Each structure stands twice: as C-alpha cells, then as structure tokens.
Structure 1
Amino acid sequence: MVSKKNKKKKAQLPFRLNILFFIVFLLFSALVLQLGVVQILNGEAFQSEIDRTTNDYTEVPVPRGKMYDRNGELIVGNDAAYSITYTPEKGIQAEDRLNVAEKLAEHISMDSEDHLDSVTLRDKREYWYLNNTEEAKGLLSKKESEEMDNGEAYTETLKRIDEDKVDDYSKQQLEVMAIKKEMDKAMALTPQVIKNENVSPEEFARVSAHLDELPGINATTDWNRKYPYDQTFRDFAGSITSEEQGIPADQEDYYLTRGYSRNDRVGNSGLEEEYERVLRGRKEKIQYTTNNDGTVVDSDVVVDGQRGKDLVLTVDMELQQQVDKVLREEMQAAMNADPVENREMEYATAVVMDPNTGEILAASGQRYDDKENEFVSTETASIFNANAPGSSVKGATMLAGYESGVIEPGQRFYDTTINVASTPPKSSWTDLGWVNDYDALEQSSNVYMFYIAMRMGGYYNYEPNKPMPVESGTFQEMRNYYAQFGLGVETGIDFPQESTGFTGPNGSGKTLDLAIGQYDTYTTMQMAQYVSTIANGGSRVRPHFMKEVRNPIPHDEGLGPVHESYNTDIMNQLQMSSSEIDRVQEGFRRVFQEPNGTGSRHFADKPYDAAGKTGTAEYDKYHKDGSYTSTENLSLVGYAPYDDPEVAFAIMVPFTGKGSDYPINHNIGKGILDAYFELENDDEEE
C-alpha cells in the first residue's frame, strides 16, 4: 500500500521537469530570436564588414632630370639598370619573408662582400630562430616569458642562442640572410630595393619568369647617374644619396613634409642639391586595394610618374676641358722650372664668365697629389678657398678713392718708399716717381694706393718716420666700397655654399695692406665678379650655373620645351660715376696693352685686345709645428675685348714660393683667352 506522502512526491516530479523544459524552451527561443536579428537586421552590415576593402597608396621614384651644357652636350645623365624590389602586403610575418627570401636566393646572387659583410650575428640568430622556433622558445622559462612583453622576450631569446649554433652557415644561407635583411627594411606597400647593382640579365630573366612564386618581388629597371665627361665638372655637378642612405637624417622633417620617402635618393652636394626641387621629378602613385585580411585584390596607377626636369647649364664643356688642361700644364711647367726655395704650390683655380650676364662659362681647380703623383680636380676651391690676391684689387681701391673724394681723376703722387714710425718700410716694386691714376694701375703702384688709404683715414699730410693716425671706421669704409664689387661678401652664386673670405681685425697699421690686396682674402669667384663689374661698366651681376630648365620629353632623347629661364640679376650698381669707371677701364687696358704695363709682354700681341690687372701678394704660410714659410700668391683678372667685353676671368695660384720668375698666372690667363676665342672662331666658321 502506497502512502499519501509518496504519492505527493511522484506528483511533484513532472511539474519540476515541465518548469525545466519551459526554461530551456525560453532560452532556445531567445537564441533563435537573436540569430534572426543577426541574420535579418544586421546580416548585411556584418557581411559588408567581412567583404570590406581599403585603399592604400604608394609612390614609386622616377629617374632624375639630366644636366646639359650650354651647347646641348650631356653632362649628367641616367643609366638604366636592372633592379629587384620587394613590396610587402600588410601583415606579412617574418616567416613569410624568410620563405620568399629562400626562393629568391635560388635566382639571384648576393655574394658580394658588401652583402655578405652586412650579415650580423643578430641576423644569424634571427635566421636560426625562424628555423628552430620551438627550441628557441624553450630558451626562456615560463616565468621569464610571463614577466616580459613580446619584444623583450624575443630580444632575450636571441641573446641566449649560442654562437656555436650560428657560426657554420653556408654561403647560400648567408645570401638568404642578406636578402631577408633588405626585405625587412620594407614598409607595407612600399617598394624596397633588394638588389640594384650588378644585376645580370640572366638574374633579371630568372626572377621575371618566377614572379608568381615570389609574392611581393618585382623585376624592374632602376637608374644610376652617369657622367660622360668623367671627372670634369663633377665637383660642381654634385652627388646624390644612395638607396641605403636615403634622405639625410638631419633634414628628415624638411624632406618628409615635401612628399619624400625615407629611402628616396636626393641631391646632397653641388647642383644636384641646389636644384633638387627641379631634378627630382614626379613620382608614380599607385593605389592598392586590400581586403580585410590585408591581401591586395587590385592595384591601379592614379598618378603617372614623370622623370625630373632637365637643367641646361651656362658652362661650355669644351672650354671647361681646355681650362682644366691649361691649369694642369702650367702647374707642371712651374714645378719643372728652376727650383724655387720653399715652393709649396698646392693648387690653381680659374673662373671664366660672361661679364654682362653672370653666366659661368668654366670654373676649374687643379691640385697636384704628391702621393699619387697626378693631378686631381678641385673645382669647388674656386668658391670655397680664399687667398690674398695682391694688386689685382687696385681697380676697386682707385674707385673708392674717387668716390670718397680723396683723389681726383688725373691726380699725381710721387712714388717712393713710405716710412711710418714703428712700421716696416712700404713701397712699390720699384720707385716709380711721379704717377697719375692711369700710371698707378698700368705700372701697379703700391704707393699711390697707400696715399688713397691714408687720405680716406683723414691723414693728408704724410711726414716720413712719423706716426700715421688713421680715423676709426676707415677699414669698414674701404670694405664697404669693396663689397660693391662682391669682394668680402657673398657673390650670390646658385650653389649650396660659398666662402666670403677672411676679414682680419681692424687696425690702422694694416690699412695700407688692405688697399693693395695683402690683408683680407677673397675667392676666385669673388674676383671674377669684381672684374666683371668693372668690365661691364659698373653692374654687379650675380654669377650663375643655371641657364634654363627644360621639361622632359617622352622618348628621353634631346631637350624638351623651356620651362624656366634665368634672367640676368643685377645685384647692385657701383656708386661711382661712369667717367670714373672709364678711367679704371683705361688703366686696365694699359696694363695689358702698353709697353710699361705689368702684363703687356704676355697680352699686347694678342688679337683679342684684352685688359686686366696683375697681382702678387706676399704671404707667410704657417705650419702645424709653428714654423712658417714666406711665399707668394699670384693672381690675375681680366676681360676681352677691352672695348666690348664678352668674357672675363679670374685666376688664383697661391703658395708659389718666394721670388719665382715663372709667370704661371699670365700663362694661364693667355691659355684661357686663347681657348675661348679659338672656340668662338670655330663656332662662327661652322
């Protein structure tokens, strides 16, 4: 017999199960409802997220613009070169890059010393890590791993890989590491050069045939600068950075804000740097479409690339070569002449320019390398190296005397030794007697210039062996006059840097030296601007290398249409009157054309009727051991023809020794003008 109590318990069980089933039913209903909401209401949005793509852009560098001389001769061009590049997709892992590197190593060689030497101990350890991941992870305890972030753990793991495990890799494995090292530099969707030097046609063909097996790898053409004239004009043309160097670190912000990438090649010296904005070109812009997992699904060129614009320079490369040759030959002849005690001639420089426009026709510098026993180019010494020029500056001193009112045209002084108390005697190269302004230039009177300097300092009544009180400010006044010609100030040349020379401290005892070019120092380019200012009648023109900018043309041969031209820039006009300038021009003519002229025996019989001024500066050259050598700087400035100048030049040959009889400055001047007018005649005959 079943008790009432047991009947009650049996009745309660189904009721509880029903409640449980009901709860389960509600949960399933809620789940079905949620799935319905996801599928019906949000399904399209979620599917869109799955299918979502993004657009990214990358820019591909283009060849730089070229440089031509004034006659259309190529000075700096581009040589096409095979190049192997790597453009990774987003999210590429180290294992993926290693896999590609191993496959790529089957088709190209990276066995040059530069590539193999670039593989470091860390590179070897990373290679071992990727090939022995599980063993590598065991080098850290679980506790150590938990206490470090991923980067710290990875770095510590690499340190614990024993060197014995990585010291016997084969050459083939080292090449794989070298390839991966270059690949690791690549940023997502940005081409990175793997190899662009000495890529053989066979390597290029093999990689091209296996691109489907090499994700991200491309075989393309790159470019390298070529120089048809070898070292001629290379200093001024300048250089560019390599792919490895990229943009200079100290100018990173400047370049990045102007659309450059870090591995872009840019001009880092000379005209390459000066005209970077023109030569760089317009990069090709590619749009990459990637899906949600980072895979590239489409690409399109949205901006066509265009190589840089071309520069047509003012230089005449045939004349440039002739000027280089003249400097080398005359330096050699001077060294072969009768030995001169303490001769320490290091280099010679020359600048040839159009005095009316400032166009630089040639700018040369040659230095003799004693170790190599050969001449080497040092062209930029003409704008970087400054020396005391001596009497070549007397044209500026004479005009300063006219303008300051301390002398009048035709005024005479008696040329004999000047004796100032507590100062060594000062004189011309010989006592010249009574000389006027013409005579002073023609025969190079120091004493005439001394009187100008003394009078500018308020000292009109010279008395032998008495002190010479000179008013304060005389030095600066004279320098201000010189600056009108470009002496002691920037010439404004279109080049990244230039020297302004050295200006010594003001001192009344040096006023006379300043007046004859034996105190402040000037560059050869400053001297060329100075003589051009006199030659053209008083306009100080800015010297420049750039004549025109030309747009590139599709077939890449020849010159395109003019994009920009350089107009003559007159920086200032001399304060002196035209009649006063005429007198200095006549004095310069007499120097080269009249029997008593200091340069007449070298130029009087030449058909091009040159004018100019000679210069010799006595100079004490100090050495590292504290000793010094008494030597001379030789200079020469001039132009031709004197009545209608079309070419001007300046020459500087420092440290020629003491008392040398070899007229190296005159011979260089003759050689330059001979070459110029010979080329001019050849052009006219053609």
Structure 2
Amino acid sequence: MVGKHSNYRLDILLYIGGLIVTVLILRLAYLQLFHGYNFQQLADDNRIKIMPVTAPRGLFYDRNGLLLVSNRPGFTVSLVPLSGPVPDDVLVKLADILGMKLEDLKSKIPQQGNQREPIRIKSDVGYEIITKIEERRDDLPGVVIEVQSVRNYVYDELAAHLFGYVGEISDSELEGQKDKGYKLGDLIGKFGLEKVYDQEIRGVDGGARVEVDAGGHPVKMLGKKEPVPGNSLVLTIDARIQRAAEKAMDDRLNFLQKRFGNPNAKAAAVVVMNPQTGAILAMVSRPTFNPNLFNGGISVKDWKTINDNPFNPMQNRAINAEYPPGSAFKIIIGAAALETGKVTLEEKIMDKGRHWLVAKGNSHGSALGLIDFHEAMVKSNNVYFYEMGNRLGIDTMEKWSRDFGMGSPTGINLPNESEGLVANRKYKKKVYGEEWYLSETFDAAIGQGFQLATPLQMAALISQVANGGHRYRPYLVSRIVSSNGETVKTFEPEETGRVALSEKTLSAIRSALREVTEPHGTAGYVFGGLPITIAGKTSTAENSHGDDHGWFVAYGPYENPRIAVAVIVEQGGYGSDSAAPIVRKIMEAAFNIPPHRDAADEFAEEEAAKAAKNGVKADNGKDDLLNHLLDANKRRIYSPMTAL
C-alpha cells in the first residue's frame, strides 16, 4: 500500500512538472514567435547607441576670399542612459567635474530612460576635464566624450557684431523650430549672420551606430552616415578695411578718453558701404565682445564682464542705436529748400548770430553776416538752416526726410535694426499730447530735437548724395556657396527708393561737402595731404546725458565715389576731432594710401611702449595677416575683386 501511494504522489509531481515545462515551452515559443522582434529591439536599444555627428557649419569669407569664421574639433561631454535613468550619484560627480550646478545639469536631461541618442551636457570642454573624466571612468557609467565641431572666429573680436555667435538651442527657440528639424542640444545662431542664415549654414548632421558595453563605452562601430557640411557665406565686407576701421576706432577712443578730455568716449559705430550698390564693406560697433567666449556656454566671469559694462558690448550700434544726426541733417534740409524753391543758391541771408523769430543761434554765438547756401553748408551755419526750416515748415521737412529714407529701417538683413525717428506733428501729439511749436521746427532743421537716425541710415544718406539720389538696400552677403564650391545663391544690388534731386542741387551740395574737407573747411585740417578728394560733413549732436556726440559722414573719391562712410563717437565732442580722423584712416585703407600718423597714433605707440616695458607683449600677428591677406589666404574660393 505504501509503495502504491508513493508511486501515485510521484506521478502527480511528474505530471505537474511536465505541465510546468510545457507551459514554459509554450510561453517561450509565444514570446519568441510573437514578441521576439520587440525584445530584440529592446536589447539593441541597450546595446546599440546612435552617436550623432554634428555637421560643420558653413564658413564665412570676406569679399577677397579670406577665411574669417571656421570650425575646429572640440570635446563634448554627453550622457548615454543605458537601461534607465542615470543614477543621481553619477550626476553629482559629473556636475562637480564640470563645475556645474546639479540642477543646471539635470535641466539638460528632460527625459531619461531608454534614450538612444547621447544627451549633450557641456560642449568644448578643456583637456583637464577630459583627464578627470577618464581618471574616474569606472565611477561614471554612461558618461561619454564626443568629438564635435566647434565654431571658430578666426580673428576673435573682428566684426563680432556682424558674425554673431552660436549657442545651444533654448526651450523657447526649440518650440518654434521643431518643424525645421531642430532638437534638444542642437547649436543655433543666436545673433548676427549666424542667426539670420542659420538654416543655410547649419548643414545636415550625420551619425554612427555604435555598440557599447555596460559602462557606456564604445565597443564596435556598426555603421556610419557622414554629415553634410553647411553652405558657406561669401561676405561683402573687406577684412582689411574692417580691421583698419576697428583699429582706428579703438585708437581714437583711447586717445579721446585719456588725452583729449572725453573720459566717457567709450562707445562708437562705423558703417562703410559702396554707394553704388549698397554692399557693406565694414561695420564696427564699440564696445565689442569675443564670440569665441560663447563656445560651450559662456562662463559666469566672462558674462559678468560683458553684462556689467554700462555701454552694452552686445548692442550693434551701427544698426540699433539712434542718435540726433546733428548738422549732417542739413543735407536734407538744404536739398528740400533748393528743390522746392524756398531759397536760391544766390540768395544771401543775414546771420547776426541768432535768428530773428526764435532766440536760437550759432555755436559759440558766432555771426557770419550775409551768407549764401554754399558758405552756410561749408561752415555749418545754424541761423541759415533755422531760416530754411522756417520757410519749409515741419510737414515739408518730414516729407523730404522720408524721401531720403529717414524714419524707416534700411532693410539690411540683420536682426534688431532700429527705424530712427523723423520729427513730425503726429508723433508729438501722440506721445506728448501737445501741439507743434516753431522752435521745434528750428531744432529739427539742424538735426536736433526729435530727429533720430542710426549710423547705417546716415551712411545711406551720404550714399544718396554720392550716387545721385539712389537708395539701395544695404547687404552683407554676396554669395551662398555649397560645401563642394557651387554657388547656391547670388545677391545683387536692390534699389529701394530714389529721391528726386536736380543736377543743380546735387552739384551745389556736393561742392559744399567737398570744401568741408579742404584746408579752410570744418574738417580741412584732418584731411590735409590726402591724395584723393573727399566730400564730407561734420556734425556735433547735443546729448542731454553727457558730452556731445561727434559725427562725420563722407564719400570718396569725389569724382567717382566708391566708398561712403558714417562714423559716430558717443560723447566724443566735435565731429571734426572725434569722428573725422577715423574716416581718414578708413579712406587710407580702402585706397591703399600710406597711413598718416596723427595724435592718436602717437599716443597708441606710447601706450604700446609702456606695455612692452611692463612685460606685456603686443600681438601684431592679426594685423600682419590682414595687411597681407592676399598672400596669407590659402583658401580663396573666388578671385579677389580688382575694384570696390
């Protein structure tokens, strides 16, 4: 009986065991047949990672083929979550190595878990960080080092406000760019041309399928798709003129602050353009910044230096700052008065130092007696132009100002261009709720009061005098070129308006502006000995917050204008002292004229000598290269232009 009972229980156990094995086999078959692919995918997701390869951004060249913005390899620290979220202790260690706050690091990881692509934490890190990570490799599972393309602004601050900079895409930017292929961690143009042409120059990213081990270390390359470099930009600017303008500006500002009695002359702007086409040859804004500092995220120290500067280095004053145009605005008022018949070239007006209707007079109370249009323009006489404003009236002045393009953006393809302001009745009524007064017409007639203009608008104004009244849209890019050298797009001059000026009026204005730069003109002492004839106009704009601003607008050569320049020096005093010397240096560079040494040059040499004595070595390498750019440039993509 005992044996039968024992066999019975054994049969039951065998039956149960067989049933379990059968169920397991059926379950295994079910999983293998119906879910095998899914599990294989899950295993591959843990074992195989997609390592994106960022496409190099397109390069920037100047008009002569000199490479100005390029790329270089840099290290990026990324996270590769393996089977789940990266442990907090790993994040704490990594944040410490990278010098980041833990919450800032975590903010870059919106969705952990089964992430196939690396999460970029910090770009363009130095060798010391790479060394620390490698030394603690076993403590940092999932942390990988990628080699990515990093933006390189070859000459640091040169044309920084034109080029802009790149940075990691923000949440708000991503929200508006998802449909254009952007994703978290991508670099995007934040400013200047980098922002405007981001789509054209960003290229198409590649990638590699890499097998990784349990620590996230690459084991084997399974496949790779090469990235497609972005298109390059051939710019209209001339690096030699750009550098000359920047150096002249820096030397003059330093001189004005330390030797000339203008300690707050720390901000300025320059625009150089071809008056026949609208092509921008140089654009400068001071103070400036180094866009290379933004690679990998700008440091707290560097950002504090920029942010604490009361003169705002990030502002492109050439297109964004608005100033009273001062006496250069008399060009518009003079043209309007002559064209509408409110005055003739022969008529003389009595200047007794003050106008007879409103108690407004000349600078320093000077009185020139009977003067005609030519003398009034050459000597920048206020009383004469007060009378022109009186005869024209504010409404006619507004019309002619707008005909010259004042009060509207020029349309240059850069972000944040200001529109300036044309003095008019509606504006005052809307803003101040008051009627217009004759004294405000007088102020407007000499470029003061409500009148405001950007340096770019003033360059466009003097260009219209030079070219006969044509207004062109300023532009910075002449061609977009693919990575294989094919031209994708070409930009041509675009006329956006024309002011109707008779040859007689043009000749009268041009003749007066030419005399401004001759020996007895208001800027004659600045341009003495220059072998080409320049026409220009000084301006000193009143500034209620400090010293007056100094303007100078000019074009040359007088007979065949190829260069138009506008320079503003904030709190620089008289335009002839602050802005005109900068214009001369620009003209010398543009026409290959041996440079004339002035007081600012001598002071700069003294400063350099003192620095050398104190063991500070001057860096002349950039100047040497730019001065010999045709020989130094080894990556020319088209023949240099023989003329501007």
Query: TM-score, structure 2 length as denominator?
Result: 0.71
Could you report, residue by residue, the CA deviation over 1:99-146 in whole angstroms, capped at 9, with x for unpaired residues?
9x97x99xx97643524x4269xxxxxxxxxxxxxxxxxxxxxxxxxx
The structural deviation recorded for 1:409 is: 4.8
Could you report, residue by residue, the CA deviation over 1:631-681 in whole angstroms, capped at 9, with x for unpaired residues?
422211001101101111111123235xx7982222222222123222799
Match of residue 222, structure 1, among 130, 145, 148: 148
Q: Which amino acid aligns with 1:77?
A: S
Q: Which amino acid aligns with 1:437?
A: F
Report the Cα distance in structure 2 between the residues aligned to 1:204 and 1:599, rounded to whole angstroms. 60
* Cα separation, partners in 2 of 1:196 and 1:615, compared to 1, 3 Å: closer
SS in 1 for 2:99: helix
Instruction: Map 1:506-655; keep pairs closer than 5 Å.
Output: 506=428, 507-508=436-437, 509-519=439-449, 520-553=451-484, 560-593=485-518, 595-621=519-545, 631-655=547-571
Asked which structure has the greater CA Rg, the reply is: 1
- In the alignment, is the contact (CA less than 8 A) between 2:462 and 2:553 conserved in 1? yes
Give ranges in structure 1 of 5+ residues lacking alignment.
1-30, 121-177, 290-297, 458-473, 554-559, 622-628
SS in 1 for 2:592: helix
SS in 1 for 2:188: coil
Q: Which amino acid aligns with 2:533?
A: D
The structural deviation recorded for 1:252 is: 3.0
Match of residue 93, structure 1, among 59, 79, 84: 84
- In the alignment, is the contact (CA less than 8 A) between 2:338 and 2:345 conserved in 1? yes
SS in 2 for 1:223: strand
Match of residue 83, structure 1, among 72, 76, 80: 76
Q: Which amino acid aligns with 1:354?
A: N
Report the Cα distance in structure 2 between the residues aligned to 1:194 and 1:662, rounded to whole angstroms. 52
The structural deviation recorded for 1:326 is: 1.3
Report the Cα distance in structure 2 between the residues aligned to 1:591 and 1:377, rounded to whole angstroms. 33
Matched, 1:66 2:66: no
The structural deviation recorded for 1:328 is: 2.1
189-198 vs 512-521, greater mean Cα deviation: 189-198
Match of residue 342, structure 2, among 406, 409, 418: 406
* Aligned position for 2:375: 439
Matched, 1:483 2:402: yes
* Cα separation, partners in 2 of 1:511 and 1:187, compared to 1, 3 Å: farther
182-191 vs 488-497, greater mean Cα deviation: 182-191
Match of residue 102, structure 2, among 89, 104, 118: 118
Report the Cα distance in structure 2 between the residues aligned to 1:661 and 1:358, rounded to whole angstroms. 24
* Aligned position for 1:19: none
Report the Cα distance in structure 2 between the residues aligned to 1:633 and 1:514, rounded to whole angstroms. 17
The structural deviation recorded for 1:84 is: 4.7
Instruction: Map 1:317-328; keep pairs closer than 5 Å.
Output: 317-328=239-250
Report the Cα distance in structure 1 between the residues aligned to 2:345 and 2:68, rounded to whole angstroms. 48
Report the Cα distance in structure 1 between the residues aligned to 2:418 and 2:122, rounded to whole angstroms. 40
Give ranges in structure 2 of 5+ residues lacking alignment.
1-18, 212-219, 289-304, 429-435, 596-626, 632-644
Q: Which amino acid aligns with 2:192?
A: G
Matched, 1:424 2:359: yes
* Cα separation, partners in 2 of 1:219 and 1:338, compared to 1, 3 Å: closer
Match of residue 496, structure 1, among 415, 433, 455: 415
The structural deviation recorded for 1:80 is: 0.2
- In the alignment, is the contact (CA less than 8 A) between 1:284 and 1:301 conserved in 2? no
Report the Cα distance in structure 2 between the residues aligned to 1:576 and 1:180, rounded to whole angstroms. 61
Instruction: Map 1:153-192; keep pairs closer than 5 Å.
Output: 185=112, 188-192=115-119
User: How many residues matched?
Assistant: 536
Report the Cα distance in structure 2 between the residues aligned to 1:425 and 1:375, rounded to whole angstroms. 32
Could you report, residue by residue, the CA deviation over 1:334-372 in whole angstroms, capped at 9, with x for unpaired residues?
3344647xx643423222121112222222233499999
Matched, 1:670 2:584: yes
SS in 2 for 1:525: helix
* Cα separation, partners in 2 of 1:224 and 1:260, compared to 1, 3 Å: same
The structural deviation recorded for 1:327 is: 1.6
Match of residue 313, structure 1, among 219, 230, 235: 235
* Aligned position for 2:158: 232
* Aligned position for 2:279: 359
Could you report, residue by residue, the CA deviation over 1:372-401 in whole angstroms, capped at 9, with x for unpaired residues?
999996771222222213111211111122
* Cα separation, partners in 2 of 1:300 and 1:533, compared to 1, 3 Å: farther
SS in 2 for 1:364: strand
* Cα separation, partners in 2 of 1:378 and 1:405, compared to 1, 3 Å: farther
* Cα separation, partners in 2 of 1:603 and 1:220, compared to 1, 3 Å: same
The structural deviation recorded for 1:576 is: 2.3
